[in-house]
Structure 1
Amino acid sequence: MVQEYDTLQRRKLIVEVIDLERIKMGDITLSRVVQGYWRLTSWGWSPDELLHHMNECLKRGVTTFDTAAVYGGGECERQIGKALALDPSLRGRIQLVTKVGIVPGDGVTSYSHYNTTYHHVINACKECLKRLGTEYADLLLIHREDPCMDPRECGRALKALKTEGLIRAYGVSNFDPWKFNALYHAVEGELVTNQIELNPVCFEHFESGMMDLLADYGIHPMIWSPLAGGKLFTGTDDEILRVRFVLSELAEKYGTTESAVVYAWLASHPVKALPVCGSNRIDRLEEALEGVETRLEHMDWYRIYTASGQKVLR
């Protein structure tokens, strides 16, 4: 009980004194921790409640909010737009990140697919802006790598949107190194990020070379599902239990929580990733803030890297 109290007091102190690092991406600057609204429609919030949550994030230095056209069938963007309409002055103090390129199945289209053609990207972005009730998005991402993508055509759409002032910067999400490189060169190096899944049980982008490519280009990834959707603390698989054991030991060593240790692990990598916190609880966001301010010893980074048993050092 005493340790739990000490941890809460330490987190409170960090949140009060922290000057949260900001990361420059092309023409924009984002907060080091991003608030994600993927699950927003399941939270049952009114516009007033969402506005309150956004203001609580701002108090803690978190100014960047992540959503997508496909989240809630567009309803997530609509709810954000309704909240911003209650306080138009908020728009100039935040950064909105949204994504296009996934076409969900509906009554007309019976199956989901990807579309990164010129006209779809242009029109999908404009629809996002209508739902968000804003004249521009700070960052637009192509949501998924498209096996039928023409990088030059997609690149022309992204450049046109930026030239028109509808977006301030653009990047991708869930791209492998080859498709990232193709689009990167098509837009003459203007991609500012790749939003990818990365956590102590998901190493796809280490294994593919994506992390190395981003480090080489000096590009900061955004990280979705940093806690594996909560599975790190609820799962019962052997690899999860091994990770949890290591996280518990390191949480005690650093006087923090297991969640904060995961964020510290992400923040300690030299690529300077921006984790997306998908919880609606402010205390969870505060754990993320504490984590990115905690520097792990080099050996402890590798303890987490190898904890699941998936990665074996040679």
Structure 2
Amino acid sequence: MTPNFSRPIGRMVLGFWRLLEWQMSPQQCVAFIEHGIEQGIIDTDHADIYGQYDCEAAFGAALKVAPGLREQIRIITKCGIRPALAKKGLAGKANHYDSSKAHIIASAQQSLQHFGTDHLDVLLIHRPDYLMNVDEMAEAFNTLKQNGDVLQFGVSNFTPSQFAMLKSRLDFPLVTNQIEFSPYEMKALDDGTLDQCQQLRVHPMLWSPLAGGRLFSAQDEKALRLRTTLEQVGNEIGAASLDQVVFAWLAMHPSEPSIVLGTGNAERVSAAVASAQLKLEREQWYRIWQASTGHSVP
């Protein structure tokens, strides 16, 4: 798989939400990133709050060990969620969202320091803020872009109307909407989110593509139906694992999504990349859809 710099975000993304849980040394993290590059994956997904604000810095420590690595990857990070934590001056009585201009700029600058870099490739607003003022958000984006701090912008978990509202205030495109989507969680197929992505030729980023592991461990009826069908389809197309079937199913959507991988296991990354060679027929795609919904198409 050759790295694709023509897309703002590639078809596969390394997700670093659990970086601290993986207990990697900076050298081990470098090796993992380099393995991804060898597999054609240059995009890395982060957020300011991951690891209680420590995951970005841990990733930055790896980049410090191998300074040339920064030029070979793209850094995508998110901001806008403020937990009720006293840590790092974020004292508060309730978890809340903050999409104010001041917070967006301050968070981006903090991320730059954590990563030890002079720019972020993509900055996303992590969750829609009920109090968001899109004019103020646009001002923050424009300031960061003009200063060279952030190259491109997007959102995460936005509804189509929220995406359109923010887009209407910008002179440049939003490059993605990072959404939850998997055979277990398919709301984006019907709520207009993926339709909008196709309309605007925006490639969505898919988080929790394996439903947080529920596809392999949950015992509810939907999960059991899905496992049975994924195994059947996997046998038909020659897949080595159920997750390969899932990735092939996701990749078939015409919005050409970017799939965020949540694993720190290099072999599973390689297997995910290899899923690009698997092709599903429409009937197989809909058979998996049917296993999820529990009913046939009308």
Q: With structure 2 as the length reference, what TM-score do the two structures score?
A: 0.95
Provide the rounded CA distance (Å) in 1 between the counterparts of 2:77 and 2:295.
33
Provide the rounded CA distance (Å) in 1 between the counterparts of 2:6 and 2:178.
14
Q: Which amino acid aligns with 1:253?
A: E
Moved more, 197-206 or 272-281: 197-206
1:44-99 CA-partner distances (Å, limit 9, x unpaired): 11111111111111111111111100101221000000000011111011001100
* Alignment partner of 1:239 is 2:222: yes
Residues 1-314 of structure 1 correspond to what in structure 2 (within 5 A)?
Answer: 18-19=1-2, 24-25=7-8, 30-107=9-86, 108-188=91-171, 190-256=173-239, 257-309=241-293, 312-314=296-298
Gaps of 5+ in 1: 1-17
Change (3 A) 1:221 1:73: same
Q: CA deviation at 1:20?
A: 5.5
For residue 12 of structure 1, what is the aligned residue in structure 2? none
Q: With structure 1 as the length reference, what TM-score do the two structures score?
A: 0.90
Provide the rounded CA distance (Å) in 1 between the counterparts of 2:210 and 2:125.
23
1:145-188 CA-partner distances (Å, limit 9, x unpaired): 11111111111111211111101100000111111110011114
What's the secondary structure of 2:260's corresponding residue? strand
Provide the rounded CA distance (Å) in 2 between the counterparts of 1:225 and 1:189.
28
Q: Report if aligned partners of 1:34, 1:64 keep a CA contact under 8 Å in 2.
A: yes
Gaps of 5+ in 2: none
Provide the rounded CA distance (Å) in 2 between the counterparts of 1:293 and 1:243.
22
Q: CA deviation at 1:295?
A: 2.2
For residue 14 of structure 1, what is the aligned residue in structure 2? none
What's the secondary structure of 1:97's corresponding residue? strand
Provide the rounded CA distance (Å) in 2 between the counterparts of 1:215 and 1:163.
29
What's the secondary structure of 2:53's corresponding residue? helix
Provide the rounded CA distance (Å) in 2 between the counterparts of 1:146 and 1:157.
15
Provide the rounded CA distance (Å) in 2 between the counterparts of 1:48 and 1:290.
26
Provide the rounded CA distance (Å) in 2 between the counterparts of 1:246 and 1:254.
12
Q: CA deviation at 1:222?
A: 0.5
Number of residue pairs matched by the alignment: 293
What's the secondary structure of 1:272's corresponding residue? coil
Query: Which portions of structure 1, spanning 4 or more consecutive aligned residues, are displaced by more than 4 angstroms?
Result: 20-23
Identity value in percent: 35
